[in-house]
Chains A and B, each alone.
Chain A
Amino acid sequence: MKNLLSVAIIMAFSIVILSFTMVSNEQSTTPQSSDVTYEVPNNVQVILDNSCYGCHNSDSKSTKGKMKLNFDKLGDLKQGKLVSKLSRIYNAVNEQDMPPKKFISKYPDKKLSDSQTETVKEWANDLINKNGGL
């Protein structure tokens, strides 16, 4: 009888503690203003891999390309710097500054189609808004 009681008490305690940790978990996943949101859906990833990643990655031969934008490190940036990079991505594809014209004339399949441009712009815009906006 005593044993049963202690088991019941332990179980009750465990439930209380568990429910507390669950609540605190929930709180930590709700976005706070300083939490960085960075996600790349597959349809965007495909475009970035094909047209951007070649120069904008950690092992890139283009020092400048890598310094200006490195997709391997984009998710590690603090919110302000991330928003700045995203707004530059938005402008670069919107104004067709990127991928560079010289590069496209060599590799025409890397050119962004209108719908690809829109996809990248929507992605950048969405992340900008999720990270506190401009």
Chain B
Amino acid sequence: MKKTILYILFAIFILLQLIPVELPTTSMDNPDDLLLNNTDIPNEVVDILKNSCYDCHSNETHYPWYSKIFPTSILVARDTREGRLELNFSDWENLSRVNKIGVLEDIVTAITLEEMPMRIYTLIHQDAGLSSEDKELVINWAEEFSDNLYD
């Protein structure tokens, strides 16, 4: 009896995989990318952005294996889509200077209030969590970068 239930559950799981979930497309060629166009950003900050933010906030998403499996595929697709909508570092240079300042403000707020990176993301990507030094590095960079935009 137990075995039958297990078989049925497994069959349902397999069938669920037929539900199409479209992951946002990725691209490594982004001429308006923040890091590509601002080579003076300190390396430590570049590493943090790439490691902790770029999966959802750029076109350079590295999809893990479970992003192809239902139902985690739905979560990954949604978070990536919404993340890019909110802030896409791949389109950075298309923002007006005042919008750039606004986004940098939001980065500072989100990191200070520990809203970003999202818990569910750092739970799986353990190395994406930000230490207090990491936070300070990004916040200081964002403040300074912002001030230089209006000089």
Contacts and interface: CB of A to CB of B under 8 A. Distances in A.
Contacts of A134: 96-98
A31 B146 CA distance: 22
Main secondary structure of the interface of B (DSSP, over half): helix
A64 B101 CA distance: 18
Contacts, number: 39
A79 B150 contact: yes
A134 B102 CA distance: 12
Interface stretch (A17-25, A82-90, A97-105): A82-90
A78 B150 CA distance: 9
B108 to A, nearest CB: 8
A103 to B, nearest CB: 19
B133 interface: no
Contacts of B105: 68, 81, 84
Interface of A: 34, 63-64, 67-68, 78-81, 83-84, 87-88, 132, 134
13 contacts: A34-B151, A64-B109, A64-B113, A67-B108, A79-B150, A83-B101, A83-B150, A84-B98, A84-B101, A84-B105, A132-B150, A134-B97, A134-B98
Interface of B: 96-98, 101-102, 105, 108-109, 112-113, 146-147, 149-151
